[in-house]
């Protein structure tokens, strides 16, 4: 069933699509009155709805049923990452959504490739919506404002698992489970940090260790930022 | 240090770059005589080399030292996957190289999106070389000819771990380690199979189970082909 994003939270028996969502429904899918679709509003619910009325640039729908369907991870996952460039950035966000990341924090580091602009962040938030429609997620991944590494390192305030990817040393990802079960209750927050391709600077890495982040090894090859980030997320969440 | 691919195996103290590799060295990096680079030929070695002579479309180099640097996984990993379309296909191959996959087998399944052509396979083999240059890998991932699912399912002939990704059921990936250590010696081959977005058909999935493949769960969301494949590879190899 096709999924559409409604900007205004659905809280009555009517909903409206406008802009590109309406365009897609009207012109790509050639909707007719009575057609059934699924609406999401990022609230965690999805809604069965039926097309009531089609205008040139908007669609009115009747909301039939609300489903509170939880496709989230069983623990909140925050990924801090230096954003790569262009397509790779878009791709990283798409995959993070698919894998259930709760919050993505763009990190400003010594070797960062670029500082995200408000425009690029807005573009990435659109990717979040597109990807959520596609993968069946009903809560949107939050993309935070860019943060200094210092701020991010101090972000975990309660008991949590804090993992920093290190290209060449650290425990294998497979040991994280042991670490987790020996020290933590399941459901507690997980924070992961992935640096730029040159890695975090020595000073930055020391700061992580001083702030009690656990280094994990990323294998023998040089992973691109988005590969390291998605690999780490996958290894920590497919459990 | 910049890495260049030499098509002819390096077995003397001279090596030659031509085509796009020569172009890159001459025109992008503006090479001059004496400049040092690293050569790879896919043999598992890398070679320090020095520019001897620059022609318009080719470069002669002196091979200084051979290094047998192993950046492979500690076990052979074969990934069977229904190739997604366009950029996603390229991306999947790039990431599989970075993560150390030994052999990628394009699978022909009931719900396959497309059959790879000799041209598209040739293009993907170029991606393997580019990605190997970038990630420091000295042995090239092998891209096999497309195979029927039946052939692939019967491919493991010796003791091995055989994993099939299943969107909605199966053991968590985190249990694979236990499975592995309880039944297998480390270093034995791992085979993984990832189906199209609609999943393997019921019949195909049954065939996997009959051929003793273990189903693993891929979480609550619908993962795109390339996300499922790379996530599974990451979860099985970052150990």
Strand A46-54 with A36-40, pairing: antiparallel
Residues of B with CB below 8 A from A70's CB? Answer: 220
d(CA A23, CA A36): 16
d(CA A219, CA B116): 30
Which single residue is written with the structure tokens 């988005």? Answer: A226
User: By the CB < 8 Å criterion, does B68 face chain A?
Assistant: no
Supply the CATH classification number for the domain A3-67: 2.40.240.20
Beta-carbon separation of B234 and A234 below 8 A: yes
Helices (H) and strands (E) in chain A, counts: 7, 12
d(CA A231, CA B141): 18
User: By the CB < 8 Å criterion, does B224 face chain A?
Assistant: yes
Nearest to A137 by CA among A107, A180, A98: A98
Mean pLDDT by 10 residues, chain B (239 residues): 93 95 95 96 95 95 96 95 94 98 95 83 96 96 95 90 89 79 76 90 94 93 96 90
Q: Does domain A77-237 have CATH number 3.40.50.300?
A: no
How big is chain A, counted in residues?
239
Tokens of B189: 């081959």
Instruction: Give the alpha-carbon dihedral of A18, A92, B99, B7, to 10 degrees.
Output: 90
Beta-carbon separation of A174 and B177 below 8 A: yes
- Please report the beta strands in chain A, taking only residues with DSSP state E, as ranges in sequence order: 3-5, 14-17, 36-40, 46-54, 59-67, 77-81, 103-108, 142-143, 147-148, 161-166, 190-194, 214-217
Q: Name the 3-class secondary structure at A194.
A: strand
Interface with B, mutate which of A2, A46, A219 (most B CBs under 10 A): A219
Contact A57, A29 (CB under 8 A): no
Beta-carbon separation of B238 and A95 below 8 A: no
d(CA B39, CA B62): 11
d(CA A134, CA B168): 16
Helix (H) or strand (E) holding A7: none
Tokens of A170: 């650290």
Regions in chain A scoring below 50 on pLDDT: none
Interface with A, mutate which of B98, B101, B130, B169 (most A CBs under 10 A): B98
Tokens of B74: 């500690």
How far, CA to CA in Å, does B93 sit from each of B127, B187, B226? 7, 23, 9
> Would you state the pLDDT for residue B182?
66
Counting one residue from A and one from B, how many pairs have CB atoms under 8 Å apart?
111
d(CA B168, CA B184): 26
Instruction: Write the Ramachandran bin of A42: left for phi over 0, alpha for psi from -120 to 50, otherwise beta.
Output: left
| Phi, psi (deg, nearest 5) at residue A165 | -75, 135
> Would you state the pLDDT for residue A184?
65
Q: Name the 3-class secondary structure at A108.
A: strand
Beta-carbon separation of B221 and A137 below 8 A: yes
Cβ under 8 Å to B: A residues 26-65:
none
> Would you state the pLDDT for residue A34?
96
Beta-carbon separation of B238 and A217 below 8 A: yes
User: By the CB < 8 Å criterion, does B132 face chain A?
Assistant: no
User: By the CB < 8 Å criterion, does A214 face chain B?
Assistant: no
SS3 of chain B: CCEEECCCCCCCCEEEECHHHHHHHHHHCCCCCCCEEEEECCECCEEEEEEEEECCCCEEEEEEEEECCCCCCCCCEEEEECCCCHHHHHHHHHHHHHCCCCEEEEEECCCCCCCCCHHHHHHHHHHHHHHHHHHCCCECCEECCCEEHHHHHCCCCCCCEEEEEECCCCECHHHHHHHHHHHCCCCCCEEEEECCCCCCCHHHHHHHHHCCCEEEECCCCCCCHHHHHHHHHHHHHCC
Nearest to B91 by CA among B62, B131, B51, B63: B131
DSSP characters for A124-188?
A: HHHHHHHHHHHHT--BPPEEPPPEEHHHHHT---SS-EEEEEESS-SB-GGGHHHHHHHH--TTS
Q: Name the 3-class secondary structure at A36.
A: strand
Question: For chain A, what are the domain ranges?
Answer: 3-67, 77-237
Contact A49, A37 (CB under 8 A): yes
Query: Which of B73, B216, B221 is nearest residue A135 as measured by Cβ atoms?
Result: B221
Interface with B, mutate which of A40, A44, A94, A221 (most B CBs under 10 A): A221
Distance of CA B83 to the CA centre of its chain: 13
d(CA A202, CA A185): 32
């Amino acid at each position: 069933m096709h999924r559409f994003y409604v900007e205004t939270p659905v809280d009555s028996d009517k909903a409206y699509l406008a802009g590109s969502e309406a365009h897609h429904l009207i012109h790509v899918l050639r909707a007719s009155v009575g057609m059934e679709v699924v609406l999401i509003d990022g609230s965690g619910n999805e809604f069965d709805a039926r097309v009531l009325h089609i205008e040139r640039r908007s669609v009115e729908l009747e909301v039939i049923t609300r489903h509170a369907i939880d496709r989230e991870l069983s623990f909140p996952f925050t990924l801090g990452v230096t954003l790569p460039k262009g397509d790779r950035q878009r791709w990283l966000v798409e995959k993070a959504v698919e894998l259930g990341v709760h919050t993505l924090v763009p990190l400003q580091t010594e070797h960062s490739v670029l500082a995200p602009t408000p425009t690029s962040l807005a573009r990435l938030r659109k990717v979040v919506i597109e990807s959520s429609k596609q993968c069946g997620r009903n809560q949107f991944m939050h993309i935070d404002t860019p943060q200094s590494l210092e701020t991010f390192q101090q972000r975990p305030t309660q008991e949590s698992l804090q993992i920093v990817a290190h290209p060449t040393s650290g425990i294998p990802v497979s040991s994280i489970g042991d670490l987790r079960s020996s020290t933590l209750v399941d459901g507690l927050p997980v924070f992961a940090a992935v640096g730029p391709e040159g890695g975090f600077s020595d000073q930055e890495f020391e700061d992580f260790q001083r702030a009690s982040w656990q280094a994990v090894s990323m294998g023998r090859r040089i992973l691109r930022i988005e590969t390291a980030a998605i690999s780490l997320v996958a290894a920590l969440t497919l459990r």
